[in-house]
Amino acid sequence: MTKADLSGGAPRLIRHSNVVAALQALFDQGQLSRAALARHLGLNRSSSGHIIAELLASDLVREVPDTAPQTDTPVRAGRPGVRLELQPDAACFVGVEIGVEHITTLRMNLKGTYSHCRIEPFDGRSVPVAIAVEQAVAQAFDGMPQDLRDSVEGFGLAVPAQIEEAGLIHTAPLLGWENEDLRSLVDLALRSEFPVMIENDANAFAFGESYCDRANRAGVTLFMVLESGVGGGIVIDGKLYRGGHGLAGEIGHMHIRDGAELEEVLGRDHLLQRYRVANGGVPVSIRSFLNAVQRSDPQAVAIASDWAQDLAQAIVSACRLLDPNRVVLGGGLAALYPMVATQVLNRMGELQARTFPCPKIVVHKSAESGAAFGAACMLHQRFLSLENEMHLRGPK
């Protein structure tokens, strides 16, 4: 913030805080009456009226007919009730995931609803990082109308990598990247000035699920992304837990049996390699493997059963340290869990001490796009925060 920004003094900063609080309240509640929003802000009718007028003038908020019974304030006869809600098209946030075998892109509006989800095949191991970024950006903006492009307020990128806050990648072993300045490559490909955030795919997945799932924010949730490898993220009371070095939740590197790491026995490559050998070396896909499990093919079922045993052991080990209330599964292999859920839970019951309750295990409703969604959510949160200095300037 510059000295000029502070010229309005405390009143300007208080207004900024009230604007942000109003936007956050409308995001959390969906719709509020003017009176309810005033109470939430702790302001009198006149002061809240100024904030609301500013938000309406800036097109960040709109009035909609009140179709619900009015309980918070009397309505005069003949005067239709109105409520306030975020203007969905006021801002757009682009979420992208560069995975080992796919690139996922989507767009999120100001109300937190996403659309235009697109998942394209991608050979991440054979594509240089700069080309991968260019391809991801091109896919994200392909066919986007100019008016929507003008409303973009952030670009979020999730990758399976160890990442510093500045966007520097230490290592992304599944992609073969090391010591890459990903932030600079993204800026170069975008050629725009809107905010950019880069995050580990599992952390992005965890953030997105907890950001919009208000009913499950309390407690401890372990997120597992089951793809070519196995990623993990931890959310405690709605906040992403990063650990001392930003590596909390890296469950894929846990040794599971015979010295093997968890992602070596739960990852896609291991599963398909076993199924390929069982089928005489015939090339197979994850979809064909899942279909084979569904139709009770003996070879596929045996492999899925081993996978279930290893998943159970991994979750039980995590329970010893984290004591999670929930475990949320995402990624392309999450679709296997419902087929072997009984085996997983039975094995956990055998391994878990009676004094340790078993967590609830669920598959994310958008398992394959969860990381891209979470990347967009991070920019959405920034927009609805004090960090966004646009709100200091007031309406245009």
Report the chain (396 residues): mean pLDDT per 10 consecutive residues: 46 83 92 91 87 92 78 51 91 95 95 94 92 97 94 95 85 90 94 89 88 79 89 89 84 79 87 90 88 94 95 90 91 93 94 85 86 94 83 52
Task: Provide the pLDDT for residue 394.
Answer: 54
How far is 220 from 369, CA to CA, in rounded Å? 22
CATH classification (class only), 11-86: mainly alpha
Strand pairing report for 239-241 and 177-181:
unpaired
Burial of 128 (0-12, 13-18, 19+ CB in 10 A): exposed
Q: What are phi and psi of 153, to 5 degrees?
A: -120, 15
Q: Residue for token digits 């599944």? A: 174
How far is 388 from 380, CA to CA, in rounded Å? 10
Helix boundaries (H) for 227-336: 262-266, 268-278, 286-294, 298-322
Provide CATH 1.10.10.10 ranges for the chain: 11-86
Provide CATH 3.30.420.40 ranges for the chain: 91-194+371-383, 216-364
Report yes or no: 331 and 372 within 8 Å, Cβ to Cβ. no
Q: CB 84: neighbour CB atoms within 10 A?
A: 23
Measure the CA angle with vertex 192, ends 190 and 195; round to 5°: 95
Report yes or no: 114 and 158 within 8 Å, Cβ to Cβ. no
The answer to whether domain 91-194+371-383 has CATH 1.25.40.10 is: no
Task: Provide the pLDDT for residue 165.
Answer: 76
Question: CB-based contacts of 171: which residues, under 8 Å, 6+ apart?
Answer: 161, 162, 177, 178, 179
- Residue 178 DSSP SS3: strand
Task: Provide the pLDDT for residue 170.
Answer: 87
Among 56, 81, 58, which residue's Cα sits nearest to residue 70? 81
First CA to last CA distance, the chain? 19
Superfamily of domain 216-364: ATPase, nucleotide binding domain (3.30.420.40)
Task: Provide the pLDDT for residue 291.
Answer: 94
